[in-house]
Amino acid sequence: SQELEQSPQSLIVQEGKNLTINCTSSKTLYGLYWYKQKYGEGLIFLMMLQKGGEEKSHEKITAKLDEKKQQSSLHITASQPSHAGIYLCGADEDSNYQLIWGAGTKLIIKP
């Protein structure tokens, strides 16, 4: 069973539009990871957040962790076809490193 709530499950976005994916836990997280899944190549690490209120950006992707460290959002600005894929959040519930996972969000970019 998935212990991180990830929403939406799937998303179809017009190219050039912005979008947001959310990841929520009922527990305070030690660390939150965002990955992009490419079939046959495994997951690509995007960002890791550890501090409450932390925000990181890479190219057109921004990830934030709320102050309580229970919710994270991944925001893509001006989406492109290369952004299509499945986005997965994973989290450490404590420092002993046992990851829990969201169910993934399938992102489709319409040209």
Partner 1 sequence: DTAVSQTPKYLVTQMGNDKSIKCEQNLGHDTMYWYKQDSKKFLKIMFSYNNKELIINETVPNRFSPKSPDKAHLNLHINSLELGDSAVYFCASSQDMRAGGTQYFGPGTRLTVL
Q: How far is the CB of 13 from partner 1 (least distance, A)?
A: 16
| Residues between 66 and 105 with contacts to partner 1, criterion CB under 8 A | 86, 88, 90, 97-101, 103-104
106 sits near partner 1 (criterion: CB under 8 A): yes
Residue spans of beta strands (DSSP E) within the chain: 5-7, 10-14, 19-24, 31-38, 42-49, 55-58, 61-65, 71-76, 85-92, 99-101, 105-110
Q: In the chain, what's the furthest Cα-to-Cα distance?
A: 43
Alpha-carbon radius of gyration of the chain: 13
CB 56 within 8 A of CB 63: yes
37 sits near partner 1 (criterion: CB under 8 A): yes
- Three-class DSSP category at 60: coil
Determine the interface stretch with partner 1 among 15-23, 44-52, 62-70, 74-82 (rule: CB under 8 A).
Answer: 44-52
Determine the interface stretch with partner 1 among 13-21, 30-38, 50-58, 74-82 (rule: CB under 8 A).
Answer: 30-38
Q: How far is the CB of 94 from partner 1 (least distance, A)?
A: 12
Compare residues 75 and 106 and give the one whose CB is closer to partner 1.
106
